[in-house]
Every structure is written in C-alpha cells, then in structure tokens.
C-alpha cells in the first residue's frame, strides 16, 4: 500500500472501534441481573447491542484494513481457544470486582488499600 493511502485506510477503520465498544456496553447493560427481565430498557439494550455488533461485523468485512480481521475466525482451533477464554476472563473479572467489595464491606478495608497502586 502506498504511504499516502495508509492514513486514509486508518481513518476509515476508526468508526468500527466505536461500534464494538458500544455494542458490548449495551449487551452488558441488557444482561445486568438487576434490571433483567421484561423491562423495556433491557430489551432495548440487547437489541441495540445485537444491531451494533452486526454493524461492526459488516464494517469489518468491508474495510480494507479491519481492526479485527474476520479471517481470524476461520480457524476452528482459534475459535475454540476464544470460546474457552470467554468464561475464564468473565470469572476473573467477577472475582476482582467481588473481592474488592468483600474486603471493603466485610473486612472494613479502605478503598485506597483495596485498590492500591497499580503495578504498571
């Protein structure tokens, strides 16, 4: 690709990142157990998340330089690895969320100590 065309391809691919973040956020809100059920907000969030996810896939399929190349999902082994990571990462995120709540409420540990300085 010509060096002059690379920035244009980069700018064209930027909106796909916005769609993917929005669809996951809406899906999380739709699956929140506090508001789960037949609440119109839940149904709207789930439908909007699915529509945005479909838009993200269509956009990634059309652009020349996608942020998430769809050819990565052609391999059964890779898709299996992704499917195996999703529950693991979900459990890990839940652990880190609930352990901080537990330490603050039950252990009476301050927020500063619980969250502490980052190791980065």
- Domain range holding 102? 75-120
Q: How far apart are CA 90 and CA 113, in angstroms?
A: 24
Number of domains in the chain: 2
Residues 22 and 54 in one domain: yes
Distances (CA, A) of 54 to 47, 62, 97: 11, 13, 29
* DSSP 8-class letter at 54: H
Residues 67 and 89 in one domain: no
> Strand, coil or helix: what is 119?
coil
Residues 43 and 12 in one domain: yes
* DSSP 8-class letter at 115: H
Token pair listed for 108: 């009476």
Instruction: Supply the pTM of this predicted model.
Output: 0.44
| pLDDT tens for the 120 residues of the chain, in order | 445 555 555 455 545 555 455 555 555 555 555 555 566 777 787 788 889 989 999 999 999 888 888 888 889 999 999 899 988 888 888 888 888 888 888 888 888 777 776 554
Q: How far apart are CA 7 and CA 12, in angstroms?
A: 9
Q: How far apart are CA 78 and CA 85, in angstroms?
A: 11
């Amino acid at each position: 690709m010509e060096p002059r065309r690379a920035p244009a391809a980069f700018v064209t691919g930027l909106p796909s990142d916005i769609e993917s973040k929005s669809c996951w956020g809406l899906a999380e809100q739709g699956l929140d157990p506090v508001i789960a059920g037949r609440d119109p907000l839940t149904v709207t969030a789930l439908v909007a998340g699915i529509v945005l996810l479909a838009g993200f896939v269509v956009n990634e399929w059309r652009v020349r330089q996608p942020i998430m190349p769809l050819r990565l999902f052609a391999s059964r082994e890779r898709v299996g690895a992704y499917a195996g990571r999703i529950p693991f990462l979900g459990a890990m995120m839940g652990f880190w969320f609930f352990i901080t709540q537990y330490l603050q409420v039950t252990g009476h540990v301050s927020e500063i100590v619980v969250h502490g300085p980052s190791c980065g």
